[in-house]
Amino acid sequence: MEFRHTRKRRWALGAVAITTGLLLTVAGCGGGGDKKSDKDATTSTAPTRAGSGRKESQAPPTDQVLAEVKGENGLTLTVTSAKRENGGFITVEGTVTNNTGSPWVGGDWRGDEQELARNGGSIAGASLIDQKGKKKYLILRDTSGRCLCTQFSGGVKDGASSQWFAQFPAPPEGTNQVDFQVGSMPPASIELSEG
């Protein structure tokens, strides 16, 4: 019973952090009427993420690859980021590249749980495995049972790539390496960073 309430509180804290970040972003985009030159506007950085205390560039680095695994028929999963966030959760991001010869919808990535059936073609069935602590962390969900993850609306066309994200409860502070697993893809060993 206590675990369910703790999970709800963690989700609520995450939702508050995300909402605050979105509000700050919208407020920062409100053309305040100052007359900056185009040169000044292109060299500015994005606003600070709520609570992180550091600035981030507007585009995530695309050359950083934490792990890459190849699945059946030419599907490639790349993990580019795995960060601990304030609020006790991990955000994992990356890309999936479809070289299967036909459109890919991600149906087998949504997981087998009844609650996840409504998530369609998504990465809802992903998990983090802490080998050291011998624990498996399932994807976070909202109160309606929707995953806090990417849904591949319309699928991924052959030869195309699509970005994805997934959020999980954070392993204990001493755990810096976990395995990311989804569908029939091989596990990808990834290093966690502080967000």
Which of 117, 86, 88, 78 lies closest to 195 in space, CA to CA? Answer: 86
DSSP secondary structure of 17-80: HHHHHHHHHHHHTS-------HHHHHT--PPPPTTT-S---SS--SS--SEEEE-GGGEEEEEE
| Full-model pTM | 0.65
pLDDT digits (tens, 9 = 90+) for 38-52: 444 433 333 333 333
Distance CA 172, CA 109 (A): 26
CA 33 to chain centre: 35
Please report, for the chain, the start and end positions of each structural domain, with discontinuous segments joined by +. 67-194
Distance CA 164, CA 42 (A): 26
Structure tokens at 84: 């601990």
pLDDT digits (tens, 9 = 90+) for 162-191: 999 999 999 998 899 999 999 889 999 999
- Class of the domain covering 67-194: mainly beta
Residues in the chain predicted with pLDDT less than 70, given as ranges, are: 1-63, 116-118, 195
Cα–Cα distances in angstroms (integers) from residue 155 to residues 20, 127, 176, in the given order: 30, 21, 32
